[in-house]
Each structure stands twice: as structure tokens, then as C-alpha cells.
Chain A
Amino acid sequence: MLVPYNWLKEWVDLKEGPEELAQRLTLTGLEVEGVFNAYEDLAPVTVVRVVSVAPHPHAEKLKVCQVSDGERDYQVVCGAPNVREGLKTAFAPPGTVLFTGEKISEAEIRGVRSEGVLCSPYELGVEAKKDGLIAFSDEVSLGRKVIEVLGLYEPVLEVAVTPNRGDCLSIYGLAREAAAVTESVLRPFSPPSLPLGEEIFAETSVVIEVPELCFRYAGRLIKGVQVSESPFEIQKRLWFCGLRPINNVVDVTNYVLLFLGQPLHAFDFDLLEGRRIIVRRARPGEKILTLDGVERPLDEGIMVIADASRPVAVAGIMGGEETAVTGKTKNIFLESAWFNPSSIRRSSQRLKLSSESSYRFERGVDPEGVINGLELAASLIQELAGGEIVPGRVDEYPRPYVAREIRLSPKRVSLYLKVDLPQEKLIDLLKKVEVKVERGVEDLICVPPSYRHDLTLPEDLIEEIARLYGYDKLPVAVPRAEIVGRPPRPFDRLLRRAREILTALGLFEVINYSFISPRFVSLLGLEDDPRARTLSLANPLSEEQAVMRTTLIPGLLQTARVNVFREVPDLKIFEIGRVFWPREGEPLPEERHFLAGLLCGRAHPPSCHQRPRLLDFYDLKGVLESFCHALGVRGLCFEPGAGEPFLLPALSVALKAGEEKIGFAGALRDDVLEKLDLSGPIFVFELDLEKLCHLVETKKTYQPLPKFPATFRDLALVVPEELPAGDVLAFARELSFPHLEDVQLIDVYRGKGVPAGEKSLTLRFVYRAKDRTLRDEEVNDLHQQVTEAILSRFKAKLR
């Protein structure tokens, strides 16, 4: 909310300047985001001299002027009668927003280019004079800022009013708050006294059909008004607060809204059918053309103000165009009401329409302030637009305000704040915010003022006490409490350890958005995959972030693109994050922690010590093997062929725990790469960490170190190319011969000495006895048996 300091000062005798006041308000709970000059919008306007004036070739009343700010010349089309060569005046360049609300841009005016406008005193917010340009005396130097030359300065506080403090959404409300938090005195406001009586009831009536939505509805009738422009001072005040002047009647309603926080609406009384008001729910099929020129369909969830036949306003939000006050209006019905805040908010959201009124109604206006607003506005309208106020006023008040009583125990205050304030001090602080306090037996019996909807519980009063006393004056302590800390959960440890291991393996951690583009389904060919079933956001920021991810791969691919396109072609990255799988019949999805990674480009950074080489599948597998080893994963198998539509079957593996697939790893298919504008090979992997967690061996048992030396024997086999080396290795490792401790695959060879279509595998066997050194003959004998077992199992020859 924009608060002109000088308006505020009319109601509270502040000793603080605008900056000091801003600081004080901020420290007591109303954050002031800044203090600025209301004329700041006009800062680009400078003093220029009219160098030449020529007639406009296509318009009789316009002139084409060359003006100079002392540095350069501008061409401006101008229609002011007093423009003449040598005149010093004000020039607004494109981008300036004038007092009138007009935003200047470079324009063609009837075929002639105009690089800005020359301004009248009115357009600069100086005085009401509209015809003719502002003129400066000769001493004023060219190029100076006009706001400086004229001393245009009006300090305005930008206050961020929190949603609980609807009472501060007005000048008077802020004056009250300022008085409470400084040592200043508030000037009391009382409305003018206007004629009372019964006459109004002969002319009109108000019926509230929905007392649960409209607690109070008041109105006055003003007859014979002259609608025209408001006085300049009123216009200026509205402008300081960011509102645009419209006409004297509407401006008064806005002025009172700003001053007292009471929203008002003026109807053209003669256009109200039946000359009466009904507050009711809209009926299905009803529509209204609102003041912003939009026709809006209504429904029963929306409260309207209706005349005898149709809605004439959306209650509390915006009036209708058809009954609006215009230049022709003679008689006015002025509305001042109190609507149910949540009803206004619901309607406002339903219609996607909000206004200064709805903003205040949602946050709660003062039910006891309805009449103040009405009376002030009626008298101002009469003052500015003439006419007669019809004696009497409507005041339907089906749910009168009942003051709340809050029992505050001083003990609770000291429990909360750890400070023992005497009761007198508590009462004193609460009185600053107009809370009435009486002493009970033990408690203080407190009655907050009608405009403080936020004060309902003792804790709310404790907050008032704390902030008025000063948060910084309250004591500081270190909690004394029994120790409740627990060790981290195993899964959290696993996540932490997984991150450590992967970075040690050279991978960088990335974090991608949890929402992705739904196009990932077709990108990865997942049309028939359960992962194509995603949760969609109802209101995404863009199509790129419209569904919740069911796999981390699309995010990693996006990261790869960002890097590869921006000079980082070598990538080793991983992400740990949740994926979201919709569950049948459950409102919330299943959220699982996944780990995924991506490797592409060169295996090592460029170095004088190593020949460059591209990453290959064995790098991927090596990373995963080391990861599993370091994490203590047991029983994870790499089965050829991942079965993932986006991976090359020949260059991918499924990661399995027994029969259950818990992940995959492999190279992306070429068509996927092509769609991404990337070139391969690119390797990815993904693992369900919650499943992997079950494979982590947490219990480790010590194995005694060998006391006797081992003996090694190598076995070179020639086998058909199709025979997977892993099968031979796995078979050899499964063999149960005494003293056979370990088997390693130490070489795979093709070429000289090995026939085409075959390959040579060299296995190294480690033999060791626990209790003695094995003799050579014993080992030879064993190794002979091992060799025979392998030769009888596989189609293999000795090399």
C-alpha cells in the first residue's frame, strides 16, 4: 500500500520523518519496503527550449517543433496554443508516465514523427491548468530535471501490509498504528452529521437475502448532483496512492476507501430498476458487464447487488457498467457495506477479478466503520458535486458486531516471553492499540477494537505486547529440554554416502526441477510404459514444466544439452531425487528416491600424460561397480539388455536383484540422441535407491588375514566369440574345489595365434590353504581338475 507521508501526518502529530517512521513501522511489524518520491515517475522529464515551430503538414491545429535540451534536439508534435520559438518548457521522453496516467512512447502523429511530448502543468501534477505548456523563466538551465526545478517532492511509504492487518489498509488505520508505535497522538476522526429521517425509505429499499454473506448494508441517496472533474487536490492524493482520477463522485468513493479503508460504491439511482437494492446470490445463467468492460457469467457461489431485475454489481468486488455514474448521472445511491471476507475471496477467485475493494473486504474491514465511510463520502459528494442528501439512511445490519472478550493470563505472557512485566505495563501496552482491559481475578479481561479481526486469542495479545515492548528487548536463552535427538535414519545415511561415493568417482551432483515436459514420453519412446502415467499440474508455469517426473533421465538429458551447447562436452553427472508415480485410488502419489547418472565425452580431462579417449560402456559399468562396492551392495547383477526403449539393447544392462529389476544402465539410442541434437555416445543409468537400500550389507564380519602364501596359476582358453566371458568367470568362481580362493579374468585377446571368430581368455586362479603352504604338486593336481571342469562345461580349447 502506498502511503503519502503528509496525508498521514494530518492525522498523527509525528515527530519522525518519513525514513524514521518507515524504520519504526518495520521494526514493529509493518514492513516498509521503501520510501520514494511520488513524482519519481516524472524524473525523465527535462527542461528544453523550443528551437523552431513549423506548421504540421496534415493537421491545422498541430505544430511540429524542434526542441533542445542543450545536448541534442528532438522533434515533437504539439498542439498547445502557447508553443512558440524560444519558450522554455518541459519535455517528456518515451517511457515517462505522466500525471494523467498516459505513458509516453515514440509516435507518428498524422504522418509526422514525435519523439516525446511537451507537458502542461496538469500533466506534471503541478496544478489544474491543462491548456498550454508549462513555461520556465530564462534562468532555468536546459537539461535539468523538471521535478528538481519545481521541487516536486512528496514522500510516499510503500508498506507491505500482512494479510492479518486489514485495518492498516488505509491512511487513518496507518495513522492509528503509527501513533501506537511512536510517541505520537492520533487526531480523532468523527464523521460529519448529515440529515437523518425517514424520507429515504419513500424512495428506495434494501433487502439482504443472504445475511450469512452480508452482515451489514448501508446506503444514502443524493439527488441532483453535477458529475464533473474532482478538485486538483483530490486528484493529486489519489495519484500519490497509485489511483487514477475518474470523476468527482467516483473519486470521492476512492478517496474515502483510501482514507478510512471502507469500500464504497455509487450507483446511478435512476438506472436501478425498481429503484431498489437486493443483496443476494447470483442466479444460474445471470451475467454482468463489469466496469472494466468485461462481460462475466455468474453463478450461485457469487454474491451480487441486484436491482429489481438483474445484478448491478458483483458484491464487494466491482460495479456494473450499466448502472455506473457517468456525466449524465443526476441521482446517486451510495453503498457502504460489510461483506463476509471468505465469500468475497471465493467470488474474486472464481471470477479471476480483484479490486481495491475486494482486497480490503477479504482482509476484513471495520464493521463499525461502515457508517463513518458512508457519511464522509456522502458529505464530500455533496460538497464537490452539489445536490441534496435525502434525509435518512439505510442501515440493514442483520448480524451486528459483538465485541470479543479475551482472557489473558499474565502467567502465560511470562511463560511465552520469559519476562515479568507488571500488570500495569501490560495494560499500558495493550491500550496503545486500543484494546480495552479490565482486571479479573487472575486474568486480564481484554476487548479488542472492532477493526482488529486478528486479535482473537490470548496469544494474539501476547504478540501485541511483545511487539510494542520491542522484540529486541525480550531476553535470549538457550533451550533447556530433555535430549530428544535421534540418530539419522539408515536411508538418510545411504543418501549421504551415495553422494560422497559418486563425487569421489568424479561425478558432479546436479539438481533438476521435479516437473518436466510431457514430451519426454515420446522422446524416450515410453508410450507403453507405466512411466508414461504422470501427474499433471493444473496451473504449470509452462508446458516445459507441466508434469511430475516419473524418471530422472529427462532432467539429466536437459542438463547435458545445457552443458554441451555451452562448451562443456565432457560430462559425468548424477542426481538423487524423488520421482512421482500416481497410485490408483490414492490422492497422493508414491514418491521414491531415485539415483540417475549421465556420462558423455572424454574419459579424462585433456592431459599431457594420457592419450584422449572417449568414455565407453566399461567406464559406466566400472562406475556402477565401484559405487556398489563402496556402498556395500551385495547381489546386484548386470544382465545384458536393459529392456529400455531408449537404450541400445546391445550396449545396455538391466540392474537386477534376483529376479527384480531395480535399474538400468547403457548407451542412448541414436534416434533419441538425434531428437536432442546431441551426438553420442551418451551413457545413462538409473537406480531405485529404496530397493537398492535392501541390498546394502550393514553387518560386516571380519575375515582373518591369511597366514600362508598363495599360489597362482593362469589358464589361457580359446573360446568362440559368442561365449560371454562373464559366463566362464561366473562358472569358475562357482567351482567348489578345496583351496581355490579366487578367480580373476586378467586378459581378453583376439588376433595373432587365435583363429578368427574366437577369442582367448586368460583366467588367473588363486590357491591357498588355511593351515599350511601348498606344495607345487598339490596345486598342479588341483589346477588340472579345475581346467578339466571348465573344458567339460564350455566349448573351449587350451591355448
Chain B
Amino acid sequence: MVDEKSLEELKKKALSEIKEAEDEKGLEAARVKFLGRKGELTRILKSIAQLPPELKPVIGRLANQIKKELEAALKEAQQELKKKKESRLPGVDLTLPGRPYPLGKLHPITQVMTELCEIFLRMGFSIATGPEVELDYYNFEALNIPPDHPARDMQATFYLTDKVLLRTHTSPIQIRTMEREKPPLRIIAPGKVYRCDSDVTHTPMFHQIEGLMVDRDVSFADLKGVLSVFAREIFGEETRVRFRPSYFPFTEPSVEMDISCVICGGEGCRVCGQTGWLEILGAGMVHPNVFRAVGYDPEQWVGFAFGLGVERITMLKFGIDDIRLFYENHLRFLEQF
């Protein structure tokens, strides 16, 4: 005979079996055992009809309630199992490194050169180029450095013949551009340059960016302005700049720009020789003789020019202490940038 007590026991048993089922299969077995066509609860439900009328409503209600509870428990258990299955896949170890998709990198000089050029491009300068094997005329004479001028000592030169050399600076591009184009002008000329020098701070080939601005009303103040903006963009907003008189045959007045040391912030350290300042570029107002050489009227046009060494800036940016590393091209070096 079915009574309330036995029903409660059945429920308890069923719930515990559902709970203990370890997988879908066990769960299904439990469902069949209790709720299947021949399941224990199904059987009871079928037999209600034969119960005495006074028991029918009580037992019937209870049995139906238990059925609902079991169905809910089954559903819950199923979801639980599904969750468990999704959380762990056999053979998958999420701590393994990924499959490599290696990328290459640009040479640090190219990276910094691009960054430098972009700063000036934003200020309205355009890129100009010229040959690396150059005539003495463009490299020296037109830049107000006649033959037998001691300023030639400032740049140890590789010669091919008496009149042909490897350009020692990107300044000849100024001349070539001015010969070709009418003012006003705003150009930068990035490129390789060559000097007969080799040690920890010199390689026989390195990179420069030359800049030139020519207009009717350009002044020393503009030179200071453009170069100060540049220094802060490349080395950070807190960078201080200082301008010192200097000498370049193709500019007058000439100037050298120092920045506050990027290593010590101006306190003084080994890199800046305890001065707190680092020399970063040379510049000046275009010498009238240079304008005359290209047929510009120095009474009408004024300009400023500057030249900076890309290696030096790259070394300061990354703390590199030996310039020769750039041209050894060791991958352990190149992949750091």
C-alpha cells in the first residue's frame, strides 16, 4: 500500500540518486528508474486510481508534487553537468604558450627617423632627397665652404675622386632643392651620411635629418620656436632647451641646441658629463652666400636650417652606449625596439 511516508522516502531516494549521478548517463538512468514509463513514481501515479477514495486526493496531490520536484531536480542536475563539462576540455592546457605568429621589426634608426620626420611633417615641412655620392660643389662649395677652408676639417670626408665624395651631411639637399624650387620652402631631408671616423661614438655611416625653411619673414625666433617644439615632442614635455652660439659656414648666426639631460634631468651625470645638458643639434640662419649660390636674393628671403643626428637621438632615447651596435644588426639587439 502506498502511504505518505513511503512516498517521502521514495522522493528522498530519488533526489539523492539524481544528485549523485556523475554524468548524463547516470542522470538518465535515474530518470528512467523513477520517472520512466515503468519508473517507481510512474507506477505509483498509475495506481492511485485503485486507492480508497479518502486517500486518493492526498496521495495523488503529494505524488504529483514529488514528480514536479524530481523533474526540476533533474533539470537542475542536467544544467549543472553541462556547466561542468564546458569548464574543462580534455587535453586542453590553458597555461601552454600560444602558437607563435612572429612579427618582424623595423630597425631602431628607421623607427626614430620616422618619428622625427612626422614631427616636422605636422609642422608643414615636406620631404626632400638627394644623392649620397655627391659633388664637392654641393657638399662644400655651395655651402660657403670653399676649397682650402679649415672648416673642412670639421668633417672627415670620404673621397671617390677630387670632385666626388660621399656626402658628409644632408645639407647638400638644401642646395639641390633651392636650385630646383622657388621660395617659400619648408623641407626636411632625411638620409645617410658618411665620415671617415670609427669608434664608440662614431660610425663611418650614420643618419641625419636636415631641415630648411625659407620665407620673407622668418627669424631667429622662429628657429628657436620650431626646434623647441621639436625637442619637447621627441623627449617629453618637461624637456628644457638652451641655445648656444656656434659656427657652421653655411649659417649666420649659427647655433647649437642643448636639451636638459634625459638621463639625470639636469642634475648632472656621466652621460651629460656632469653639465646637465646634452648637445642635440646644430642650426642657424641661412648664410647669404648660400642664397647667392642658388640664385635667391638674400635681401628678399630669410631662412633657417638645422641638422640633427638620428643615431645620437636614438641612443639617448633608448640608453644605447655603443653606436656600432646599429650596424652589426644582431637580432638580439634589433628585437629590443
Contact = CB atoms under 8 A, between A and B. Distances in A.
B246 A162 contact: yes
Interface stretch (B10-18, B65-73, B77-85, B211-219): B211-219
Interface in A492-548: 492, 496, 499, 502-515, 535-541, 545, 548
A541 B204 contact: yes
B158 A537 contact: yes
Contacts of B302: 415-416
B109 interface: yes
Interface residues of A, number: 94
A346 B148 contact: yes
Contacts of A34: 273
Interface residues of B, number: 87
A488 interface: yes
A28 B245 contact: yes
Given A489-B127, A507-B104, A559-B329, A472 B242 contact: yes
Contacts of A345: 148-150
A34 B192 CA distance: 31
Interface in B3-35: none
26 contacts: A26-B244, A27-B245, A28-B245, A31-B256, A164-B249, A342-B148, A345-B148, A416-B219, A418-B221, A462-B252, A476-B224, A479-B218, A479-B225, A479-B226, A481-B218, A484-B124, A484-B126, A509-B104, A511-B109, A511-B329, A514-B132, A515-B205, A566-B330, A567-B332, A571-B331, A587-B135
B96 interface: yes
A474 B224 contact: yes
A207 interface: no
B160 A467 contact: no
Interface in B184-215: 184-186, 192, 194, 196, 198, 204-205, 213, 215
A589 to B, nearest CB: 5
A471 interface: yes
Residue among B98, B99, B109, B253 with max Cβ neighbours from chain A (10 Å) = B253
Contacts of B312: none
Nearest to B102: A506
Interface string B98-127: 111011111101100010000001001111
A362 B252 contact: no
Contacts of A467: 245, 253
A575 to B, nearest CB: 9
Given A416-B220, A610-B99, A163 B153 contact: yes
Given A416-B220, A488-B127, A510-B329, A482 B244 contact: no
A260 B259 CA distance: 36
Contacts of B246: 29, 31, 162
B319 interface: no
A389 B151 CA distance: 40
Given A342-B149, A462-B252, A588-B133, A509 B105 contact: yes
Contact of B247 (A29, A466, A472, A540): A29
Contact of A607 (B99, B126, B220): B99
Residue among B186, B226, B326 with max Cβ neighbours from chain A (10 Å) = B186
B147 interface: yes
B161 A538 contact: yes
B160 A535 contact: yes
Interface in A2-52: 26-29, 31, 34
Contacts of A362: 150
B328 interface: yes
Interface string B236-256: 000000111111010011111
A562 interface: yes
Contacts of B160: 535-538, 548
B89 interface: no
Interface of A: 26-29, 31, 34, 162-165, 341-343, 345-346, 362-363, 415-418, 457, 459-460, 462-463, 466-467, 471-472, 474-486, 488-489, 492, 496, 499, 502-515, 535-541, 545, 548, 559, 562-563, 566-568, 571-574, 577-578, 580, 587-589, 591, 604-605, 607-610
Nearest to A571: B331
Residue among A479, A566, A591 with max Cβ neighbours from chain B (10 Å) = A479
Contact of A483 (B124, B245, B332): B124
A164 B247 contact: yes
Given A163-B149, A504-B104, 15 more contacts: A26-B244, A28-B245, A163-B154, A341-B148, A345-B149, A476-B224, A479-B215, A481-B215, A496-B114, A509-B106, A535-B133, A537-B166, A545-B204, A571-B331, A589-B133
Contacts of B326: 511
Contacts of A566: 330, 332
A544 to B, nearest CB: 11
A474 B184 contact: no
A511 B225 contact: no
Nearest to B99: A609
B220 A509 contact: no
Contacts of B222: 477-479
B194 A514 contact: yes
Interface in B135-172: 135, 146-151, 153-154, 158-161, 163-164, 166
Residue among A28, A418, A481 with max Cβ neighbours from chain B (10 Å) = A481
B309 interface: no
Contacts of A460: 252
